[in-house]
Amino acid sequence: MIDPQWANARNILVMRLDNIGDVLMTSPALRAIKENLPEARLTLMASPGGAQAASLLPSIDDVIPWRVLWQDIGKLDFDPEREWELISQVRDRHFDAAVIFTSFSQTPHPAAYMCYLAGIPLRLGESKEWGGGVLTNEVRSAPDEIHQVERNLRLIESVGFEVSDRSLCIQVPSAKHSANALLLKHDLATDAPYLLLNPWTSCQSRNYAWDRFATAARRLAEITGWQVVVTGMEKDRDRSVPLLEALKPHAIDLVGATSLSELAALVAGARLVLTNNTSTMHIADATRTPSVIMFAGTEYESQWQPRHAPTKLLRQPTECSPCYSFTCPYQLECLDIPPEEVVAAGLELLERLYPAFQGDKGGWVR
């Protein structure tokens, strides 16, 4: 049974202040809130990057993009007025409640204090440390190794929300037409099978070597006869040039050419995805797209791994894992994986999932 105070909430602020993948991991919890309180309006507050994920989340009604001071790594200027402006904007929306989603390494207390100052009466969060009265509903922290989806669901279950589905939930229909148009520009029919390669992440410590990715993707393209759709952000354009050159004539270059929704539609349409542990991995899990994931030793697999899509996670065990580092001071030994292993993992998935696929006999049998 829902806590009586929370049962009356109709205007709820949900906060996840990290990146796209972190926001996507809240989708089962957001869906559960909507299912329990169908008349409630949910507003997502996220970082400017993470806020892009709102377009994929059917439970979200509005979004507040904001780079918060308490998760800044030294890039924000000294500007107290900016913080008062945030409080003012939140106060003006007259929220009934705030749900503060965090990872195991974060505290909800700065966010909860901001919500307190903005007049939000109900404030829910999970914490390892005592934070005074800034949270009205506090959940003691789960073990660090717990999956992030379960951490989020555990939070809302603590106030009585029932959860009917614990899988990721995204929407992509509105982007399918524009994604198909991008493929048609490269002479790929909308019903043609393709591989999708998303080779980059936002931090160096999670990037599998681009030349190895290119070798693996090229070999899979040769075996299957499929094109390789290469995706990435605009900032990845320059470093993608040698990779795209190595993939000729199999590559379809969409680096910097897609919105997040279009990327999700492309992932949903792929026969196989090759990527690192990044937001594309979570999109593939949500769309049940088979994936080979180069999973760096930066985190426990149990915290972030796909749970529903057919997936092969590849990484080498290392003593320094989990390091939670943005850059590797060593030689990325955790991702020292020969391209042949990537190819073998991809073929294993294809042969298991698609009975018409004969990897040793020339690819896809139509």
What are 239-278's pLDDT values in tens digits? 999 999 999 999 999 999 999 999 999 999 999 999 999 9
Residue-level pLDDT at 365: 44
Token pair for residue 297? Answer: 């030793």
Residue 124 is encoded by which pair of tokens? 């829910």
More confident residue, 366 or 181: 181
What is the dihedral sign for C-alpha 335, 337, 343, 344? Answer: negative
pTM of the model: 0.93
- How far apart, in whole angstroms, are the C-alpha atoms of residue 81 and residue 360? 64
**Which residues pair with residue 314 across a beta bridge?**
294
Report the pLDDT value the prediction gives residue 358, as an integer from 0 to 100.
61
9 has a pLDDT exceeding 90:
yes
Domains (ranges, CATH) in the chain?
A: 4-157 (3.40.50.2000), 173-364 (3.40.50.2000)
DSSP 8-class letter at 235: G
Q: What is the largest CA-CA distance in the chain?
A: 66
Separation between Cα atoms, residue 366 and residue 190, nearest integer Å? 16
Q: Read off the pLDDT of each residue in 343-359 and give the average, rounded to a whole number.
A: 87
Model confidence over 149-198: pLDDT tens digits?
Answer: 999 999 999 999 999 999 999 998 778 888 989 999 988 988 899 999 99
User: Could you tell me whether strands 363-364 and 357-358 are parallel, antiparallel, or unpaired per DSSP bridges?
Assistant: antiparallel
CB 337 within 8 A of CB 212: yes
Whether the CB-CB separation of 313 and 321 falls below 8 Å is answered with no
The 10 Å Cβ neighbour count of residue 249 is: 6
Average pLDDT estimate for 112-126 = 98
Q: How far is CA 55 from CA 209, 224, 260, 289, 363, in A?
A: 31, 33, 8, 19, 36
Q: How far apart are CA 126 and CA 102, in angstroms?
A: 7
